[in-house]
């Protein structure tokens, strides 16, 4: 890439990283990508939004058929990448130069690039032109790859600010629900289960009353660190309420999760919270729900785990219940 290209991309990146949300970053990056490459249209399909969004920038007057063909090709490329058809549930946003009745209809050149974050398909980059690219195609891929990197930076910045619990640094309830939804759906394709483990501290109220709320906050921070240390590499840990934590366990049955949960319960009780200043160990109640290999909604799985948690607390707490 030459210096002018890099400068133009740097300007787009700077604006995108200051955007308030991911869709705003997408609009900036697609416009910058189309301008730098010289494509007639550029698009980004992002599936982490709710609903998913296909954001397209059109650089010059094109016919309605061109834009429709481009949209279809982008959806087809995504379907080819992961086997999922996104057309029916995706918000399509087109900005830039409006389509006209007498503009070119034929889409001659098309290229696409899947976007992955930690092996998870985030979306797709796509470019289209009325004319063949020929000599600039290789450079176009290089630029597209650079834009992909900028998009991932924006994605991580926005995601971190909107999905992290400020006290523990773990995922918050919203992000846990999103991860659970995605994991259950992914596992169900192969008939594999996912378990959600909900952990409630039985005696945190007593800690706050005996000591103070600063001590209670320290307990929550240490609890987050401890769960993160105990969790397997494939597990996802979050704080979903005041004294409630959750662990998503992919490809794990309820009974398997129960064995891990009892280990977690023992480790928490044995841990010397607040440098050993707490006179007695903490007790936790744990509720577990298993998807059974089905693509169950996150709220349904968490609801089942909460029901199991209630059963555990109803008989005195400090135990694990699977539902």
Residue 136 pLDDT greater than 70, yes or no: no
Quote the domain boundaries for residue 284: 173-322
Chain segment 89-110, per-residue pLDDT in tens: 777 778 777 878 877 788 888 8
Q: Are residues 12 and 144 in the same domain?
A: yes
Q: Most distant CA pair in the chain: distance in Å?
A: 80
Task: Calculate mean pLDDT across residues 28-48.
Answer: 80
Q: Are residues 153 and 189 in the same domain?
A: no
For 239-270, b/e burial (b = at least 16 CB within 10 A) is: bbeebbbbbbbbebbbeebbebbeebbeebee
Does some domain include residue 146? yes
Does some domain include residue 167? no
Residue 39 pLDDT greater than 60, yes or no: yes
Q: Are residues 117 and 153 in the same domain?
A: yes
104-108, 166-170, 187-191, 262-266: range with lowest mean pLDDT: 104-108
Q: Are residues 152 and 181 in the same domain?
A: no
pLDDT of 134: 47
Residue 4 pLDDT greater than 80, yes or no: no
Specify whether the CB–CB gap between 22 and 158 falls below 8 A: yes
Residue 14 pLDDT greater than 80, yes or no: no
Domain count, the chain: 2
Q: Are residues 42 and 146 in the same domain?
A: yes
CA distance 140 to 122: 21
Query: What CATH number is given to the structural domain containing 257?
Result: 3.30.70.270
Contacts of 177 (CB under 8 A, 6+ apart): 298, 299, 302
Instruction: Please name which of 269, 278, 246 lies closest in space to residue 318, comparing C-alpha atoms.
Output: 269
33-42, 148-157, 241-250, 305-314: range with lowest mean pLDDT: 148-157
Q: Are residues 217 and 244 in the same domain?
A: yes
Does some domain include residue 41? yes
pLDDT of 320: 97
Chain segment 174-211, per-residue pLDDT in tens: 889 989 998 998 898 889 999 999 999 998 888 888 88
Query: What CATH number is given to the structural domain containing 123?
Result: 3.30.450.40
Residue predicted with more confidence, 41 or 263? 263
CA distance 121 to 47: 8
Last residue of a domain, one of 136, 162, 188: 162
**135 pLDDT tier (thresholds 50, 70, 90):** very low
Instruction: Please name which of 107, 98, 47 lies closest in space to residue 72, comparing C-alpha atoms.
Output: 107
């Amino acid at each position: 890439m030459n210096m002018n290209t890099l400068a133009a991309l740097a300007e787009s990146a700077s604006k995108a990283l200051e955007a308030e949300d991911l869709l705003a970053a997408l609009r900036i990056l697609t416009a910058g990508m189309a301008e730098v490459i010289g494509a007639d249209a550029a698009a980004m399909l992002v599936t982490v939004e709710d609903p998913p969004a296909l954001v397209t920038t059109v650089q010059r007057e094109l016919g309605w058929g061109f834009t429709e063909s481009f949209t279809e090709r982008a959806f087809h490329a995504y379907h080819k990448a992961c086997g999922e058809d996104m057309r029916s549930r995706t918000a399509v946003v087109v900005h830039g130069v409006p389509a006209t009745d007498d503009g070119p209809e034929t889409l001659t050149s098309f290229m696409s690039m899947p976007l992955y974050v930690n092996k998870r398909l985030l979306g797709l980059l796509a470019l289209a032109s009325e004319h063949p690219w020929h000599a600039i195609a290789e450079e176009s891929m290089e630029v597209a790859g650079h834009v992909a990197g900028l998009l991932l930076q924006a994605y991580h910045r926005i995601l971190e600010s909107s999905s992290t619990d400020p006290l523990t640094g773990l995922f918050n309830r919203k992000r846990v629900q999103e991860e659970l939804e995605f994991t259950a759906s992914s596992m169900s394709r192969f008939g594999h289960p996912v378990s959600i483990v909900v952990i409630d501290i039985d005696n945190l109220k007593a800690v706050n009353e005996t000591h103070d709320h600063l001590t209670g906050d320290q307990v929550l921070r240490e609890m987050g660190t401890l769960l993160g240390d105990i969790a397997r590499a494939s597990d996802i840990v979050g704080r979903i309420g005041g004294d409630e934590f959750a662990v998503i366990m992919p490809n794990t049955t309820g009974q398997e999760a129960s064995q891990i949960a009892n280990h977690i319960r023992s480790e928490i009780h044995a841990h010397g919270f607040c440098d050993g200043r707490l006179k007695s160990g903490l007790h936790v109640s744990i509720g577990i729900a298993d998807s059974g290999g089905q693509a169950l909604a996150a709220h349904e799985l968490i609801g089942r785990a909460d029901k199991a948690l209630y059963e555990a607390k109803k008989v005195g707490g400090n135990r694990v219940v699977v539902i």
